[in-house]
Amino acid sequence: MSNKVWKRTILGTTFILISIAYTFLLAIHGKANENLIFEVQHINSLKNIFSSPTNFNYWGHTGNLVSLFSPWLSLIVFLPLFQIGNTAISYLLAFGIVTLLTLISSYYFVNKLSDNTLQAFVFAVIYTFSITRLNLVFDNNFSDYLLMIFLPILFYGLFRIIEGFNADWPLYALGVALVGLTNPWMILSVFVISVIMIISAAIFKETHSVKYWFGISISILESFVAVLILTLGYTLPLIEHGFSQSSDSKSFIQVSKFNFSNYYDGSQNIYLIVAAITLVLCMVIIFRAKSYLIYKTASIGIIFSMILSSDIINWKIFGSFDLSRVTFYFWIIYSVLLCLMISYLLSEMVENKSSLFKLATLIFTVILSCTIFYMNFPKQNGDLFNTRIKSNESVTFHYSERNMKHKDDLKDFLINKKLERVQYTTTSNLFEFRYYNPATVTIDVPILAYKNANVQINNENVKFRETSRGTIQIRTKPGANIVQISYQYTVISRIAMLISVIGWILIMVLIINKGKWYIGKLSNNG
């Protein structure tokens, strides 16, 4: 076999072994929690996602439109895994696949960026074993550590744009769209840091030209339009229905809790120490003559993402809408850029050394990363195999304020405002119950009221009103009533999804065609 094949084989085997080892640690030390229950329910509820935005067999049978408020595109690929009958095994398999893809993505795109195998491998290891990802893994924030697969794609595209290789803008747009369709909060932090890094390029770039900045401007504009189209199937229905968010978020780093009298005291002081070390490393890269433009802009990105992770900024400036939650996603950006900077500095230190020395450095870095990882991961007895991970009837994700005020009785039928027990049945797309009364009555049905609800009584469409607890209220007809409630996508939602599908096809064509909107001239030899 050629050296190239040997290298790929060794790297592939190493990444698989790392993924298996990480999965084994999660299996014996991981614990089930509310996050895991939500993620499992969310994935399982996607069985009918193309026919209805809700699944009445989940979310306490309330018709909660979780999949309308929480993106599902990057999650649906894991749906087949969760049909094998054992949720714990399904989750661990999904985690192992995500870890392997994180290693591959981080290695591949940093190697394309730097053309340095050592730097790419070091980045892949320290990024995958980072404390930020570790905390997400053991807190079962599946969507958040899933999006870490896409960040190397995103930043590769951004760095290529900053370097003037504007043909790679579709990769930047792809990365941003995949991140946004995994966790929308991340898009805001990504755009802010992207703008800051591009502006910083104006400071560090030695020569300027109209062509360079015009190319960057067009690339960013094309990326922005592409992301709008790619995410339209999610954002437009969300805007159409309106959305709410909890107001109890806190900034990730709370400067107000720093203990400046004793730097080694206080739960938040560790970030003060990390900030000091980070600032020194960033200054080394910024003022080092040999540093490339992309790493100088990355250093600025690190500094600003660290600042924006804290409560130095008043994230409640928009009245009742609290943006404090976005601070954690600035911290994720800080983590990925810091790992990139460390891998770059390490590769520069051993650039002119022997192959044996480079190998020793590589082994040392892996051992050090594993040691830091082992010192920080929770050494607890796991219960993933001992706990039955099933649908939790009490979950209240994406409930409105009106729903939350009545969450204790939200699943009760109220007949003429009096509690009454009513039997009902559900399928994925339908909530049905039968009720008999010789007189007309008002029924408050325990189904959350949304704009696209379709209510039928004896196969005839009827109007409904929203109650004070945010549920559907109907008036029956005298005698027997067969009531069926379902949710369909609105015409606007279907059009938005169709536009997004076309957008995804186009972005793949653009990536293959090196960012060009045309395929090129056809030769005619005839």
Q: For 181-234, how does the pLDDT look when each residue is reduced to its tens digit (9 = 90+)?
A: 999 889 999 999 999 999 998 888 766 688 888 989 999 999 999 999 999 988
Candidates 306, 298, 297, 305; CA nearest to 274 is 306
For residues 452 and 488, the answer to whether their CB atoms sit within 8 Å is yes
The distance of Cα 523 from the centroid of its chain, to the nearest Å, equals: 44
**CA separation for the pair 72, 77 (Å, rounded):** 9
Question: What pLDDT score was predicted for residue 226?
Answer: 94
Higher pLDDT, 105 or 270: 105
Q: Is 58 left (phi over 0), alpha (psi -120 to 50) or beta?
A: beta
The pair of structure tokens assigned to 31 is 């614990």
Instruction: List all residues 6 or more positions away from 81 whose beta carbon is below 8 Å from its beta carbon.
Output: 90, 93, 94, 97
Helices (H), 30-150: 34-44, 66-69, 87-114, 117-128, 131-138, 142-146
Q: SS3 for 31?
A: coil
Tell me 173's DSSP state: H
Question: What pLDDT score was predicted for residue 291?
Answer: 77
Report the range out of 100-104, 133-137, 187-191, 232-236 with the highest average pLDDT.
100-104
Most distant CA atoms of the chain, gap in Å: 92
**Residues facing residue 445 across a β-bridge:** 472
The yes-or-no verdict on residue 456 having pLDDT over 90 is: yes
The pair of structure tokens assigned to 140 is 């079962």
**Residues facing residue 453 across a β-bridge:** 487
Higher pLDDT, 392 or 357: 357
pLDDT band at residue 130 using 50, 70 and 90 as cut-offs: very high
For residues 186 and 147, the answer to whether their CB atoms sit within 8 Å is yes
Residue 97 — φ and ψ, nearest 5°? -65, -45
C-alpha to C-alpha distances, 428 to 53, 72, 353, 431, 488, nearest whole angstrom: 10, 17, 62, 8, 12
Q: SS3 for 425?
A: strand
Question: What pLDDT score was predicted for residue 526?
Answer: 34
Domain ranges for the chain: 3-386, 401-487
Query: Looking at 80-84, 142-146, 311-315, 468-472, which range is the least confident one?
Result: 311-315
C-alpha to C-alpha distances, 197 to 101, 191, 211, 219, nearest whole angstrom: 27, 10, 19, 15
Mean pLDDT across 126-140: 92
Question: What pLDDT score was predicted for residue 237?
Answer: 82
Please state, for a pLDDT cut of 90, what percent of the chain lies above it: 46
Query: Looking at 112-121, 260-269, 488-497, which range is the least confident one?
Result: 260-269
Mean pLDDT across 366-386: 76
Angle (CA) 448-454-460 rounded to 5° is 135
C-alpha to C-alpha distances, 255 to 258, 330, 508, nearest whole angstrom: 5, 15, 43
What is the pTM assigned to this prediction?
A: 0.88
pLDDT band at residue 523 using 50, 70 and 90 as cut-offs: very low
The CATH architecture assigned to 401-487 reads Sandwich (2.60)
The yes-or-no verdict on residue 397 having pLDDT over 50 is: yes
SS3 assignment for 250-273: CCCECHHHCCCCCCCCCCCHHHHH
The pair of structure tokens assigned to 378 is 């929770």
